[in-house]
Structure 1
Amino acid sequence: MNKVIANPAFVAVLGILSGTLMGLGWFLRAGELLMTQLMATIPAPVVVEGKAQGWDFWTIEIEGLSSELKEERARLRSQAETLNQRAARLASEQQELSKIRTDIEGMRAEIARKVIEITADEARNLKSLAATYATLSPAAAVSILREMDDTTVVKILSLMKSDVVGPIFEQMAITPGPDGTMAKRAAALSEKLRLMKSTKTAS
């Protein structure tokens, strides 16, 4: 045994084995240190308190996607509000146009009610009556005209000359009526006659 230990070749082999084992140990130790350093450089997942929604962590990427979704939702909400405002404005304008159309139709109906026209069928008879009443005294003409409706009276008066109509209105102003004198009716007849005259002139 002593001879083996004393053998230079054995000593050399033992030295090589010892050096190899020590080198391997140092290599493993260096590998552990290197792995520890590498693990330290890897960023840990960012956890935002109160942000977990079905996951145990909330990464920066998820946070970015959440922000984009919030911005898109806000944009869509803004567009919806704009469309609602535009629809409300259009509805208001349509309602205003409908009101204006109704007012115009009402004005047309009122004008049609006030403006009196003589049709071709009744023109001959009205001219005959107007010529007959023109020969009467104002008092006699008023006593007859007061029994007629305003439309017929205006048509007859429109076919008379102004120097005949004037005295008839003067007589109406002093003739007793249901509520005093016939002055109010004379004024109403005069206004309708004016509208009829303007219409005839325009046509």
Structure 2
Amino acid sequence: MRLNIHTLIHPTIHKLAHEIIYQKSHNKLQHTDNEKTLGMLIFYEILRKWLKINNIYIKKVDVLKERHLLNKLDKYLILTNIIECYNILADIPRILPEPYLKHIDFNNININNSFYSNENLQEYKIIIFEKFLKNYGIIEIINYLHKNNQIDLNHIKIICLACNSNILKYLAKKHPQLSIYTIKIN
């Protein structure tokens, strides 16, 4: 089985990602807006198959109202370096019902002192977001989630703006059923 690598090809996503990856914007406000917009577009692409919307029809005496509600029973956990990615994640609660954010420093991972040793993570759909997938810390996290918490790897999605091909090769050997969404492969 091969690794599920999804390259996002939408031109707007590519334009915004290119500006962020190569730091083209010198205007701080424009850069922040670009990151927020990019975050919304990427998460829309990734979550459109995961999100379930329930249509509810309310019949009154003389009118029929229609409402579209997200399923509140679905739980989403986003593992990310919040310090680096806060702008990209700022508007995610607009499309994702009550996301649960947890900070992870991918450069300095200590599994034993980490947060997920006490929690039941099997009830979550897990999104691992890293701007630049360039170190092997993510592999430690995935191994831990899979072995110690018995997380089904189909419930994990990895999102990154750019990723290292060596890490993708390693993930393909160890966990080929993972889904990775990226814009650029180095």
Q: RCO greater where, 1 or 2, for CA within 8 Å and sep 6 or more?
A: 2
Q: Which has the higher helix share?
A: 1
Give the number of the structure whose alpha-carbon radius of gyration is greater.
1
When normalised by structure 1's length, the TM-score is 0.23
When normalised by structure 2's length, the TM-score is 0.24
Q: Which has the higher strand share?
A: 2
